[in-house]
């Protein structure tokens, strides 16, 4: 166990009236980085102690942007390896790739008919990813949040651990669940499902690193798509690369402050202190009491040692696991079978509610 459970995650608010269940997903689109790890994967690992969890490699989402097929297959295995290397238990919980469970795409279609164009027009991730050439973006990229709502609700999941950047998509998921429950309220009651068929899932965004920023620019989030590899620490980076990236990380000329207030308007310093806090489990205040007044070079060295210590074993285990694709594929197949067993009856209920014959 790399991390002890933290109270803010184990004391997650229950969603009344539903079996409590965690769902989350990661796209297999290139290198996983420290933001994915601290913002999502560490929380996935911790939540296993309190909930049944379903963790999904969302390959249907990946193809909303062009992907090279052989690289996509490799990335699916790599994300799975990262899950397992970080400590996700694929026997007690469920790990699978999305395209194997057809109910995700099926429910997404129903949700395409529930979600309103106005809701999707507000999604900032679509605006960012589509860029200036919106006319040329895929319809899939536009409908992405509706598929994400289906991912969560096809298991009637109640809790969704994610980084800050996914908050808007989770709000849309709640809107979709609410509108479905309202639009079909009579039918849901007639079929004996009570007040609402879908839960309104709770985002789990707490924790010290909900938004890890680029090492080159403290105003941009750390991202797979940043052209500079120096902007991020990849889970696959070796210790020399981690050291070099932290050494080159942008800072400002001032020494570190001794109190948290001193981090205001110093995004790069704030980011590095936040990363240290998340990796060590110590508070920012405690860290600044120790490192405040000192130069960045000493802090960066301590941060490098800590990061190598925490991430090194994960990277090493990931390499061992990706060397055995047969094992990874077996985990994904088995996980998909168990995920389907949960999703299929829920999809059947949805068909009955909507009025399809089956």
Report the residue from 12, 21, 22, 26 that binds ligand TYM according to the rule CB under 6 A: 26
Tell me how far, at minimum, the Cβ of 241 lies from ligand TYM, in Å: 18
Catalytic residue (choose from 167, 179, 224, 319): 224
339 belongs to the binding site for ligand TYM (CB under 6 A): no
171 belongs to the binding site for ligand TYM (CB under 6 A): no
Catalytic residue (choose from 13, 92, 127, 129): 129
47 belongs to the binding site for ligand TYM (CB under 6 A): no
Contacts of 311 (CB under 8 A, 6+ apart): 34, 37, 233, 235, 237, 242
Tell me how far, at minimum, the Cβ of 215 lies from ligand TYM, in Å: 11
CA distance 114 to 317: 43
309-338 positions binding ligand TYM, by CB under 6 A = none
Residue number of the CB atom closest to ligand TYM: 39
Q: What is the DSSP letter of 23?
A: E
162 belongs to the binding site for ligand TYM (CB under 6 A): yes
226 belongs to the binding site for ligand TYM (CB under 6 A): no
Contact 154, 25 (CB under 8 A): no
Report the residue from 9, 12, 35, 332 that binds ligand TYM according to the rule CB under 6 A: 35
Contact 14, 51 (CB under 8 A): no
For residue 250, indicate whether it is catalytic: no
For residue 224, indicate whether it is catalytic: yes
Contact 320, 262 (CB under 8 A): no
Tell me how far, at minimum, the Cβ of 191 lies from ligand TYM, in Å: 26
101-160 positions binding ligand TYM, by CB under 6 A = 148, 151-152, 160
For residue 245, indicate whether it is catalytic: no
Q: What is the DSSP letter of 41?
A: I
If we measure between CA atoms, which residue out of 31, 18, 16 comes closest to residue 318? 31
Q: Which helix (H) or strand (E) holds 18?
A: none
Shorter beta-carbon distance to ligand TYM: residue 48 or 188 = 48
221 belongs to the binding site for ligand TYM (CB under 6 A): yes
Tell me how far, at minimum, the Cβ of 208 lies from ligand TYM, in Å: 11
Strands (E), 70-194: 94-97, 159-161
Cα 62 to chain center, whole Å? 13
If we measure between CA atoms, which residue out of 149, 142, 130 comes closest to residue 58? 149
Structure tokens at 81: 């390896």
Tell me how far, at minimum, the Cβ of 58 lies from ligand TYM, in Å: 4
Catalytic residue (choose from 43, 132, 220, 221): 221
204 belongs to the binding site for ligand TYM (CB under 6 A): no
Shorter beta-carbon distance to ligand TYM: residue 84 or 160 = 160
166 belongs to the binding site for ligand TYM (CB under 6 A): yes
274 belongs to the binding site for ligand TYM (CB under 6 A): no
Report the residue from 12, 24, 75, 146 that binds ligand TYM according to the rule CB under 6 A: 24
Shorter beta-carbon distance to ligand TYM: residue 217 or 352 = 217
Tell me how far, at minimum, the Cβ of 185 lies from ligand TYM, in Å: 25
State whether residue 204 is helix, strand or coil: strand
Give me the sheet containing 53-57, strands edge to edge.
Answer: 94-97, 53-57, 22-26, 159-161, 202-204
Tell me how far, at minimum, the Cβ of 222 lies from ligand TYM, in Å: 4
CA distance 105 to 93: 22
Helix axes 103-112, 325-354, angle to 10 degrees: 40
Contact 168, 124 (CB under 8 A): yes
Strands 202-204 and 53-57: unpaired
Give catalytic residues, as residue numbers. 129, 221, 224
Residues forming the site for ligand TYM (CB under 6 A): 23-27, 35-36, 39-40, 58, 61, 148, 151-152, 160, 162-163, 165-166, 169, 210-212, 221-222
């Amino acid at each position: 166990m790399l991390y002890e459970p933290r109270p803010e995650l184990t004391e997650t608010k229950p969603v009344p009236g539903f079996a409590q269940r965690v769902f989350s997903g990661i796209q297999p689109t290139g290198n996983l980085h420290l933001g994915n790890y601290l913002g999502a994967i560490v929380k996935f690992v911790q939540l296993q102690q309190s909930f049944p969890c379903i963790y999904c490699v969302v390959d249907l989402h990946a193809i909303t942007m062009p992907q090279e097929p052989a690289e996509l297959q490799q990335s699916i295995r790599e994300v799975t390896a990262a899950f397992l290397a970080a400590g996700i238990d694929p026997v007690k919980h469920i790990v699978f790739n999305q395209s194997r469970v057809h109910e995700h795409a099926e429910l997404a279609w129903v949700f395409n008919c529930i979600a309103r164009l106005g809701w999707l027009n507000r999604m900032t991730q679509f605006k960012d990813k589509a860029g200036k050439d919106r006319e040329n973006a895929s319809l899939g990229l536009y409908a992405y949040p509706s598929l994400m709502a289906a991912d969560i609700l096809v298991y009637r999941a109640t809790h969704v651990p994610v980084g800050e950047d996914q908050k808007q998509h989770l709000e849309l998921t709640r809107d979709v669940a609410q509108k479905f429950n309202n639009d079909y309220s009579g039918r849901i009651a007639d079929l004996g499902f009570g007040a609402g068929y879908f839960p309104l899932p709770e985002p789990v965004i707490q924790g010290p690193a909900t938004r890890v920023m680029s090492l080159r620019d403290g105003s941009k989030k750390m991202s797979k798509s940043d052209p500079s590899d120096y902007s991020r620490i990849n889970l696959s980076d070796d210790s020399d690369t981690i050291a070099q990236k932290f050494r080159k990380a942008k800072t400002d000329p001032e020494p570190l402050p001794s109190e948290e207030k001193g981090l205001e308007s110093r995004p790069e310093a704030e980011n590095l202190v936040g990363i240290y806090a998340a990796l060590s489990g110590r508070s920012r205040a405690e860290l600044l009491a120790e490192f405040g007044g000192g130069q960045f070079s000493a802090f960066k060295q301590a941060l490098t040692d800590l990061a190598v210590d925490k991430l090194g074993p994960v990277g090493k285990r990931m390499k061992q696991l990706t060397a055995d694709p047969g094992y990874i594929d077996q985990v994904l197949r088995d996980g998909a079978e168990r995920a389907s067993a949960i999703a299929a009856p829920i999809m059947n209920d949805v068909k009955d509610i909507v009025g399809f014959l089956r």
